Chain A
Amino acid sequence: QSALTQPASVSGSPGQSITISCTGTSSDIGAYNYVSWYQQHPGEAPKLMIYDVTNRPSGVSNRFSGSKSGNTASLTISGLQAEDEADYYCSSYTTSATQVFGGGTKLTVL
């Protein structure tokens, strides 16, 4: 199973909005609404930010939102804050009953 495709890096200024894309295939992202997004700060375990494409876990800021169109999912962060600077990973359930992650995107808050 090949990794999902994410941009290596994105950046934005405080207060701006950014979107991170995650492209897969009809065997993963396109097959189910089981896309999740994770935030990972250096040296820490990943943290769930979005699950089932659009759902936010309790305690996650509503500045984070998710969407999907066809084989591509997206994570949007609005009102960028310094603490949003981190690596972000997408994942998807697949038709092989496995999971696959994206390559990760480094978000820099300028």
Chain B
Amino acid sequence: QVQLVQSGTEVKKPGASVNISCKTSGYTFTSYSIYWVRQAPGQRLEWMGWINVANGNTKYAQNFQGRVTITRDTSASTAYLELSSLRFEDTAVYYCARRYFFDFWGQGTLVTVSS
């Protein structure tokens, strides 16, 4: 069965960077793109960007341009999200999801930015 398993909870200081992994299984990794979405506490879902897993091309939301990098390791069937220059308002649950309509989701990774 298709699974997306994300890395664990992170606590970071303002200005630091965070790297979250999304390990996939149950399908051919290079067949579908991976997307990243975040949700601040009590807030709506927010689209961050995506990666074409087959060729590595990426597209990022304007709100995160310059701070976000999405990569993948096809040998490990894993995608990664790096968010730099963290601010208090980056405290959120970060999700990876598969395909443009997000048919399968990771369990979410809580990132807390605190001094």
- Contact flags (1/0) for A7-46 with B, using CB distance below 8 Å? 0000000000000000000000000001010100000011
**B106 touching A45 by the CB < 8 A rule?**
yes
Q: Does A72 reach chain B (CB closer than 8 Å)?
A: no
**A91 touching B47 by the CB < 8 A rule?**
yes
> What is the total number of residues of chain B having a CB less than 8 Å from a CB of chain A?
20
Q: Does B80 reach chain A (CB closer than 8 Å)?
A: no
Question: Which residues of chain B have C-beta atoms less than 8 A from A93's C-beta?
Answer: 100
Q: Which chain B residues in 11-68 approach chain A with CB under 8 Å? A: 35, 37, 44-47, 50, 59, 61-62
- Apart from A99-B100, A101-B46, 18 more pairs, CB < 8 Å: A3-B44, A34-B100, A34-B101, A36-B101, A36-B102, A38-B45, A45-B105, A45-B108, A46-B45, A47-B105, A48-B101, A48-B103, A89-B44, A91-B45, A91-B47, A101-B37, A101-B47, A104-B45
25 contacts between A and B (CB under 8 A): A3-B44, A36-B102, A38-B45, A45-B95, A45-B105, A45-B107, A45-B108, A46-B105, A48-B102, A48-B103, A48-B104, A51-B101, A51-B103, A52-B101, A57-B103, A89-B44, A91-B45, A91-B47, A91-B102, A93-B100, A98-B47, A98-B59, A99-B50, A101-B37, A101-B45
